[in-house]
Structure 1
Amino acid sequence: MKRIVPIILLLIALGGGYAWYTLETADTSNTWQGWVEADTLFIAPETTGRLFSLSVRRGDSVKAGELLFASESDEAQAQVKAAEATVAQARAQLAAAKAPRERPEEIDVLIAQEKAARASLEAARLEFERARTLTTKGTAATAVLDQARAAFDRDTAQLEQIRNQIAVARLPARAPDLEKAQEAVSEAEANLERVRRQAAKLVVTAPATGTVQEVYYRTGEVVSAGRPVVSLLPPEALKVRFFVPEATIPNLKPGDRVTITCDGCAPTGATIDFIAASAEYTPPVIYSLEERAKLVFRIEAVPAKPEALRVGQPVTVRLQEGAGS
């Protein structure tokens, strides 16, 4: 019995040593260290103006299209009002060009004159017919017929003249004038649309869904064109960056799956979408075997669950089984 105990202890020691050796010599060629980075969006106004309103704070979650901030520019508002006034004036001029040349009251006077001329013409016609009948019977002189014919012709011409005046009074402006007025309206409307688009640029919305990382200005401050007011981090902008030795590069390709682990978080998958074409470290003279071992290549992977990671967080990257083959 006393001899069995040392044997058992020896076996336990050998088993523990073998386990330690197995862990220490485990293949780590497909495991690398990295960290989380992100391509942050810096949102800035396109024109200079005073910050009129700020709708978000640091840490807020926003959806695409939601209001971030708005600038105020007195010059832009004045340009919009001036353009609106120009459009109204051009439209009024076009309406005047399309309207009859004479006022409705003046046309009514001409219409009344036309009625009187028709009545006079009818009376002259009857007198002319009577004089022609009497002349045919020989009871009236030829001079009476000539006088009646002249009166009839005079009243006919007068009626025709009044009708022409009415037609002219109802005509709009000439075609060239109408075209000019229409072009003026089109130009004014185009200018109004342009200044309105320029003014709309003062209202800035979120280009993507994400989290506000930083706010650089406060309400009332003047912001120059192109200066960021808000930085926004969309979840899809997160990426994991790590470096692998030169010898491993031939075994990796975009689309390979890796597993990301970190302290205090559950493992999550990621997909390699970028492999650097050149090494991050280049020896100054020649590539000896020792120096070649120092060459590493930058790789970036897109995590499947970016919300589980934080920017700057160190992670461990492991190639999934079956990937890289």
Structure 2
Amino acid sequence: MKNSSASIRHCSLPLILSLLLAGCSQREQNVYQGYIEGEYVYLGSSQAGKLTQLNVARGANVKADAPLFSLDAVDETAALDQAQHQLAAARSQLADIQTGKRVPEVNVSRAQLAEAAANARKAALQLMRDEAQYSAGGISKAQLDDSRANADATSAQVRELTSQVEVARLPGRSQQITAQQAQIAAADAIVAQARWKLEQKRVSAPADGLVYDTLYRVGEWVPAGNPVVQMLPPQNIKARFFVPETIVGGLAPGREIALHCDGCAADVTAKITYVSNNAEYTPPVIYSNESRSKLVFMIEARPSVADATKLHPGQPVTVTLK
């Protein structure tokens, strides 16, 4: 009996070890090592200027549209003010063209017309008298010609002033109005450009996120395009890991995985968002049929926005395929 028991124990031990190893091997097939990566957003201004205000500090969490920093904007404010005044002047000129002359100006033209009409009547009466005198031989032909010329001149002046009064009551010509409208459009564009440049001196957060770093101090000159604040929105946090060639064919975007990290209260669920089409080698080797087992493919997965804040760039994680 003793030999029999020893024999049973001797036979079962390799079996148990093989089962344990098989179980470990089975679990490790779906477990891979990876790390957390962040896609940073570098926020700067398209305009250069001295940093006058820094509203955030490194490590702070900010909401979308929260002010981040401001640059000196004296020149931009003055340019916008000038552009707005030029636009107002252009609009006033258009209104003046469209309304014609003012009432006092029209009244002056009417008074001149009345005077010219009176002179024309007087000249017409004088011509009638001179024609009668010339028929009776009382005046010379030259005096009659002078009387006729005066009557014609005063009559022409009446016609001219009559036209001036009519024109004074008309708006500007269509070509003048069109040209002035173009001036207004140009001035409006200058205002929009000046306002945009001014707005560029104040930069706000594009989304909720972590202020990962600040790159300038108040008082420093910031060249155009240089980032002042480095942000990390939670939706820009992702896990990256590598799987062997034998596994990659069964992975596709949308598949869930579990991320385990040291110190995390619980595993974090993520979804695969990217499966690389390019193979890599674990050590650098020359490709052959024997080295196919060393081929790996990069996989990226993103957790939900709520869970992303639990993870940190550079943090190692253990990835379990579900």
State the TM bucket, normalised to the shorter chain.
Answer: 0.7 to 0.9
Cα 1:174–1:248 change in 2 (3 A) is: closer
1:108 Cα deviation after fit: 4.1
* Residue aligned with 2:277, SS: coil
2:274 aligned with 1:262: no
CA RMSD between the two structures = 3.8
Task: Output the CA distance in 2 between the equivalents of 1:62 and 1:283.
Answer: 44
Task: Output the CA distance in 2 between the equivalents of 1:39 and 1:23.
Answer: 41
Task: Output the CA distance in 1 between the equivalents of 2:241 and 2:202.
Answer: 39
Pairs within 5 Å for 1:41-80: 41-80=41-80
For residue 198 of structure 2, what is the aligned residue in structure 1?
199
Task: Output the CA distance in 2 between the equivalents of 1:80 and 1:106.
Answer: 36
* Residue aligned with 1:263, SS: coil
Task: Output the CA distance in 1 between the equivalents of 2:317 and 2:160.
Answer: 99
One-letter amino acid of the counterpart of residue 307, structure 1: T
For residue 240 of structure 1, what is the aligned residue in structure 2?
239
1:175 Cα deviation after fit: 2.9
Task: Output the CA distance in 1 between the equivalents of 2:295 and 2:95.
Answer: 78
One-letter amino acid of the counterpart of residue 312, structure 1: G
Residues 268-308 of structure 1, C-alpha deviations (whole Å, 9 max, x = no match): 2111111221222275434252x333222211111232122
Task: Output the CA distance in 1 between the equivalents of 2:11 and 2:72.
Answer: 78
2:272 aligned with 1:272: yes
* Residue aligned with 2:207, SS: coil
Pairs within 5 Å for 1:1-325: 22-25=19-22, 26=24, 27=26, 28-101=28-101, 103-108=102-107, 166-265=165-264, 266-281=266-281, 283-289=284-290, 291-304=291-304, 305-320=307-322
Task: Output the CA distance in 1 between the equivalents of 2:293 and 2:67.
Answer: 52
* Residue aligned with 2:249, SS: helix
Task: Output the CA distance in 2 between the equivalents of 1:274 and 1:82.
Answer: 52
Cα 1:209–1:20 change in 2 (3 A) is: farther
Cα 1:112–1:288 change in 2 (3 A) is: closer
Cα 1:82–1:106 change in 2 (3 A) is: closer
Task: Output the CA distance in 1 between the equivalents of 2:89 and 2:58.
Answer: 47
Residues 153-195 of structure 1, C-alpha deviations (whole Å, 9 max, x = no match): xxxx999987655433322333322222222122111222122
For residue 125 of structure 1, what is the aligned residue in structure 2?
none
Cα 1:171–1:280 change in 2 (3 A) is: same
Task: Output the CA distance in 2 between the equivalents of 1:14 and 1:249.
Answer: 39
Gaps of 5+ in 2: 118-155
Task: Output the CA distance in 1 between the equivalents of 2:43 and 2:286.
Answer: 45
Task: Output the CA distance in 2 between the equivalents of 1:227 and 1:165.
Answer: 63
- Return the TM-score normalized by structure 1: 0.72
Cα 1:83–1:17 change in 2 (3 A) is: same
Residues 106-159 of structure 1, C-alpha deviations (whole Å, 9 max, x = no match): 4345667899999xxxxxxxxxxxxxxxxxxxxxxxxxxxxxxxxxxxxxx999
Cα 1:85–1:109 change in 2 (3 A) is: closer
1:214 Cα deviation after fit: 0.5
Task: Output the CA distance in 2 between the equivalents of 1:40 and 1:207.
Answer: 12
Residues 46-96 of structure 1, C-alpha deviations (whole Å, 9 max, x = no match): 121111222211122222222211222444334323322322332232233
1:212 Cα deviation after fit: 0.8
One-letter amino acid of the counterpart of residue 287, structure 1: S
Identity %: 36
Task: Output the CA distance in 2 between the equivalents of 1:158 and 1:75.
Answer: 56
* Residue aligned with 2:258, SS: strand
Residues 222-276 of structure 1, C-alpha deviations (whole Å, 9 max, x = no match): 1112211111111111111111122222232222221111222201211111122
* Residue aligned with 2:166, SS: helix
Task: Output the CA distance in 1 between the equivalents of 2:302 and 2:79.
Answer: 46
Residues 195-220 of structure 1, C-alpha deviations (whole Å, 9 max, x = no match): 22222222212122211110111222
